[in-house]
Amino acid sequence: MSKFRCSMVIVVKLVTLLSSFNLLQQEVSRQFFTIKSVFRMAVTEKAEAEKMRLNQNSVLGFSVNVHGTTAKDVMDMVLVT
> Is pTM beyond 0.85 here?
no
Query: What pLDDT, in 10s, does the model give residues 2-18?
Result: 888 888 888 889 889 88
Q: Which amino acid is at 69?
A: T
Query: What pLDDT, in 10s, does the model give residues 30-48?
Result: 999 999 999 999 999 999 9
Instruction: Report the domain count for the chain.
Output: 1
* Other CB atoms within 10 A of residue 59 CB: 19
Query: What pLDDT, in 10s, does the model give residues 44-71?
Result: 999 999 998 888 888 778 777 877 888 7
Q: What percent of the chain is helix, strand and coil (3-state, nearest 5)?
A: 90, 0, 10
Range of the structural domain that residue 74 is part of = 3-80
